Amino acid sequence: MSCLPCSELPPGARSICPIANTLDLIGDRWTLLVVRDLLFFDKHRFGDFAASMEGIPTNILADRLRRLEDAGVVTKVPYSTRPQRFEYHLTPKGADLLPVLLAMAEWAGRHVPGVGKATPEMIERIQEAVRKVKEGSPEAASTKQA
């Protein structure tokens, strides 16, 4: 594999390696947990993410949501004007991370003692939410019961 000169790399890229570039976007300890919460736990609001069991610090959460929005992985939708508040929804680009998260969960189920496993019902519900996102309606992807 030949390398491109640094002057020909896409803006912000440190190499042409797709894994390195993906890790630059989602490779820290928090970002995929935000995506997980959107996909698996139907969380959409800042407080919902902040209340996740891993305890993401709010300053890091705000940064990760902004980075995901800038990268087109999530979209920010206002739900209140006073005070101004937003919900976050996966874009089709973000929904494309589902196989990555499922592969990580499967790997952990085989190699990391004591982790939980997704049930077929959970996977079906998640895949339905992803299908709705890919149809173009972020709000329709919500699987919360009224």
Radius of gyration for the chain, computed over Cα atoms and rounded to the nearest angstrom? 17
How many CB atoms neighbour CB 65 within 10 A? 19
Residue 77 reports pLDDT greater than 50: yes
Q: What is d(CA 41, CA 26) in angstroms, rounded to the nearest whole number?
A: 19
Q: At the topology level of CATH, where does 15-139 sit? A: Arc Repressor Mutant, subunit A (1.10.10)
Q: What is the pLDDT of residue 130?
A: 76
Domain definitions of the chain by residue range? 15-139
Whether 75 and 117 have beta carbons less than 8 Å apart is answered as no
The better pLDDT of the pair 90, 9 is held by 90
Say whether the peptide bond before residue 83 is cis (omega within 30 degrees of 0): yes
Rounded average pLDDT over 53-58: 96
Residue 129 reports pLDDT greater than 80: no
Percent of the chain with pLDDT over 70: 88
Q: What is d(CA 60, CA 31) in angstroms, rounded to the nearest whole number?
A: 9
Q: What is the pLDDT of residue 3?
A: 56
